[in-house]
Amino acid sequence: MAISFEQLSKIINYQFKDTGLLHQSLTHKSYTSEQTVKVEDNERLEFLGDAIIGSCVAEELYKLYPDYSEGQLSVIKSTIVSRNFLAVLASEINLGDYIQLGFGEKKAGGHKRERILANTFEALVGAMFIDSGYRTVYSFIWSIIKPKLSNISQFMLNQNFKNILQAFSQKYYGKLPKYHTTSEEGPHHEKKFTVEVTVNGTVAGTGEDTSKKKASLKAAEQALKKLNILIETS
């Protein structure tokens, strides 16, 4: 489909001075590989946008939550800059409708893929940064993130607790959490498993359920609560 710069500019409330940057930010590598002339894809802009988003989010969270610890701020930040959250932001501005994809990727529904949406959002931010600078990007990002801050905790709850705990443990202790099945009771069709999770050498949570996987998730959830990571941001 042809890209309507005017329509997209209205959606994001920003008019690019250099529309070539906007065009590049929306160009997936699958599209460039099918062109007979050289066309720049958005991967370099994606790299830049990733760093800019992280900086903007860190700055604003530091201001918004003066009583939060570094660990709490870091977990909120990691949630906001995660692929699935950025994909949600991209969907909010209908970014998928404007991405230039190769024939095969388009046919496979690439404009709805989480990775492509998130990466393109990062590229758009990178292009905007080059076009107008940090403060313009800052305003754009927070105009769409702030309304969602009250739901960040719920968004975190919908994620895999083990993934959140792993990211936290790796960042602050340089090691992975360790899960250990402490008991396995009941007949085969009614098994009950108890799992403990250790963070930095200390038992941080215990979970009990009908499978090791479910028990591990409960243990991770308990650990996150004990570590005061699952916090409210409203």
Residues forming the active site: 50, 122
Gap between the Cα atoms of 39 and 212, Å rounded: 50
List, in sequence order, every residue forming a beta bridge with 164; answer none if it has no partner: none
Contact 68, 233 (CB under 8 A): no
Gap between the Cα atoms of 93 and 8, Å rounded: 8
Instruction: Label residue 186 exposed, middle or buried (CB < 10 Å: 0-12, 13-18, 19+).
Output: exposed
Tell me whether strands 192-199 and 178-185 are parallel, antiparallel or unpaired: antiparallel
208: which residues sit within 8 A by CB, 6+ positions away?
192, 193, 194, 195, 215, 218
